[in-house]
A = this chain, B = another copy of it.
Amino acid sequence: MKKSSKFSDVLHILLHIADSPTTVTSEKLAKAMQTNPVVVRRMMAGLRENGLVRSDKGHSGGWFLSCDLDKVTLFDVYEAVESPTLLAIGNRNENSVCQLEKAVTATTQKAFIDAETLLLKKFKDITLAKLHMSIKKDAHNHTH
């Protein structure tokens, strides 16, 4: 199964915006992401709705931050991209009448939820500021 990289793509975009002294257009971001500007706008829609970024139209328009990097965690970003499914595996029919299938579901479900909970807990522990600080600056090539 192919993994969705929407969550990390959005983080990547946020760092590009954070690193820029001016607004950044969807087109520039799309270049860095090697995709289409429309895809960028679509990915960022939830972040705008959640007040993490804003976007201006017209000349010198584009994206800029509207949140405190110290206050916002990866969990907030995760929610802003509409909390995509974390696990690639699951149960076929959680309301099966088959006792055997129910046993499988009950047993595996616990493990699945524990793993998801751990992951979300980790997200809550990492602020965007912390992520931003982890960048190893490179004078020759730090925009992409």
Query: Which residues of A come within 8 Å of B, CB atoms?
Result: 1, 3-9, 11-12, 15-16, 19, 32-33, 74, 84-92, 97-108, 110-112, 114-116, 118-119, 122-123, 126, 130-132, 134-138, 141-144
Contacts and interface: CB of A to CB of B under 8 A. Distances in A.
Contacts of A132: 103
A11 B85 contact: no
- Interface majority SS (helix, strand, loop, mixed), chain A: helix
11 contacts: A1-B4, A1-B84, A3-B87, A7-B108, A8-B92, A8-B104, A12-B100, A88-B88, A103-B131, A106-B134, A112-B119
A144 B97 contact: yes
Contacts of A134: 103, 106-107
Contact of A88 (B3, B15, B137): B3
A100 B3 contact: no
Contacts of A122: 110-111, 114-115
A5 B88 contact: no
